[in-house]
Amino acid sequence: MSERLPGLGLGLDLQHVPSEPRGSAVALLYRRVGAGVEVYWVRRGKALAFAGGFYAFPGGKLDAADAQVPVRGVTGEEAALRSAAARELFEEAGVLVAEGAEALSQEKLDALRKALLAGKLGWGELLHAEGLALRADDFRGAGRWITPPSVPVRFDTHFYLVELPPKARAELWPGELSEGAWIAPEAALARWNAGTALLHPPAVHALQVLGSFKDEADARARLLTPPYCPGYISQRIEFQKGVRVVALETATLPPATHTNAYVLGNGELLLVDPGSGDVKQYAKLLSLVSSLKAEGCKPVAVVLTHHHGDHVGGARAVKERLGIPLWCHAKTAEWLDFPVERLLEDGEVLELAGDVPQRWRVLHTPGHARGHLCLVDERSHSAVVGDMVAGVGSIVIDPPEGNMRDYLAQLARLRDWPVTTLYPAHGQPLPDGPSKLQEYLNHRAQREALIFDAVPADGVSLAEVVERAYADTPPVMHPVAERSALATLEKLVAEGRVREESARYFRQGS
C-alpha cells in the first residue's frame, strides 16, 4: 500500500464510509476452580478473514433463524442474541446450555452437534425435537462492543456470561477454529503480555475482570462498564501488551482507508507513523498518549517507517505538540521539510524502559522506499512493518524510489529473522508472519512469471505488458499496477533476462 500516486486519475470514490455493524453474540463460558475461575477460549483459524489467528470466545454473527427460537424471560432482539450465543456455544465448544440438556448422553449431544454443523438440522428444530428450552437466566448480559469504524468488517457484539453446567464438557472439533482450551485468566493474560496470544479489547477486558472473580454479580457489573469505550467502541486497542494501534484516516490507495499509527512501550513510548495531517485524526493519537501519560508513561520519540505522505502527514504536528524528537532513516530524512533529530541505522536497538521493558531492533528494509524501516521486538519477535506487507490491499513498488530486487530480498530477510506477528500500516495484524511473507514472495514470483511471459523477443510497451500480465486486475487499477510492473521489468533487465530500448522491452535469449 502507498499514498495515492500523483497523476494517475483513477476516478475512484476514495471517501471512507464505515460499514454497518452486523449483529453478533459471544458466550463467555467459565467454570469455577478453587477460589477463582477458568474460561474457555478458542483460537480462530489463520485463514479466517476476520480476526484470523486471534484468541477469542465462542461466538459469531446472528442467523436469521435465531430470532425464531423462543427464549424464556426475554423477547425480540434480546431473545435472538441469546439464541445465537447458545447456538454458537454448542457449535464451537459442544456445550448445550438449555433446560433439559442435562438428560442427553454425550453420544446424543455429539450426534446433534454434527447434524447442526452439517446443516441437516436447524437450531430451532433441534431444540424442539429434544424438548429443550433456552432460558435468559443462563445467558447473563456481560457487555456490548462495536468494531471500530476503520475495520472493513464490523460487528455489534453482545457478550453473555455463561457458567458451565454440571457434567457438561467443552470440546473443540476441527474446522474454523484451530484451538480450544480451558485457561486461567491470569495465564491467558500472561500470553498476551508475551505476545504469544493476540486479543481484541473485549477479550482483554473480560480476562482482566475474571482474573479477580468474586461472584457473578460483581463480574457482570465490571464487564458491563469497560474503560475507554464510549458508544461501545474501544478507544484503546492493544493487541499485545505494549503494542497499541490508532487507525487514522489518510489519503491511501483503496481498499485501504486508514494508516495505523502505533504506540509502543509500557513506560517509555515510541509513536510510529502519525500519518494523517488532519487535526481531527491525529488528535486521536494525542488523546491516547495523554491518557497514557496520566498513567505514568512518557513519550520519547516519533519514529517513521518511511517518507510517504500517508505515514508522515501528522509527524511534525505530533512531535511539536509533545515536544519530542523525530527519528527515521537518512533516506527518509531527505524527503522531509522539518527537522529530524536522530538518524536510525540497520541493527540499532531502541530500548524502552517500563514495567515490561521493550527492545525494538531496527531493520533497514528498502524496496518499497529507500529509507524504509521495520521494528522487531526482541522479546516476542513481533514486528511493526510499515508497508512491507498489508492487512488490506496490496503493496505498490514504484520506481525509482521503489526497487523490486531490494523488496524481495527484505521480505525473505524478515521471513527468516524469524518474525512472529506482523503489524502493518494498513489493516489488521497478521499473526503468522513467516507464512504471510512467504505468501508475498510466492505472489511476486507468480506475477514476475506472467510479466516475463508477456515480453516477446520483438518487443512490447509497458502498457501492453500490464494489459497482458494483469488481466486479473480491474482496468481502473492498471495505472497503479503499471508501477509495480515497471519495477519487475527493471529487475528482469538487471538480471539480463529482458532488454530495454526506447521504452520498449525485449526478451533476451530463449
The runs of H, that is alpha helices, within 256-300 are: 279-294
At 251 the pLDDT is: 83
pLDDT in the model for residue 458: 95
- Span 18-45, mean pLDDT? 96
Q: Measured between alpha carbons, how far is 41 from 57 in angstroms, rounded to an integer?
A: 5
| pLDDT tops 50 at residue 7 | no
pLDDT band at 478 (very low <50, low <70, confident <90, very high): very high
Q: How many CB atoms lie within 10 A of CB 359?
A: 12
- The predicted structure's pLDDT at residue 3: 54
> Model confidence at 2, in pLDDT bands (50, 70, 90)?
low
**Nearest alpha-carbon partner for 170 in 226, 99, 88, 238:** 88
Given a contact cutoff of 8 angstroms between Cβ atoms, the answer to whether 351 and 399 are in contact is no
* pLDDT number for residue 16: 74
What confidence category does residue 9 fall into, taking pLDDT thresholds of 50, 70 and 90? very low
Question: How many beta carbons lie within 10 A of that of residue 495, not counting itself?
Answer: 10
Alpha-carbon gap, residue 30 to 39, rounded angstroms: 4
Length of the chain measured in residues? 510
pLDDT in tens, 416-450: 999 999 999 999 999 999 999 999 999 999 999 99
Crossing angle of the two packed helices 478-494 and 433-453, in degrees rounded to 10:
80
| pLDDT at residue 257 in the model | 86
Cβ-proximal residues to 306 (8 Å cutoff; 6+ apart), any chain: 328, 329, 332, 368, 369, 371, 372, 373, 386, 387
* DSSP, res 103: G
Whether 252 and 426 have beta carbons less than 8 Å apart is answered as yes
57-68 pLDDT, tens digit per residue, is 999 999 999 999
Q: Per residue in 206-216, pLDDT tens?
A: 999 999 999 99
Residue 10: which pLDDT band, with cuts at 50, 70 and 90?
very low
pLDDT over 80 (residue 349): yes
**pLDDT classification of 255: cutoffs 50, 70, 90:** confident
C-alpha cell at 104: 442427553
Q: Average per-residue pLDDT in the chain?
A: 95
- For residues 154 and 148, give the distance between their C-alpha atoms in angstroms, rounded to a whole number: 7
Mean pLDDT along residues 199-212:
98
What's the angle, vertex CA 147, arms to CA 89 and CA 203, rounded to 5?
A: 50
Higher pLDDT, 122 or 10: 122
Q: Residue 5 pLDDT > 60, yes or no?
A: no
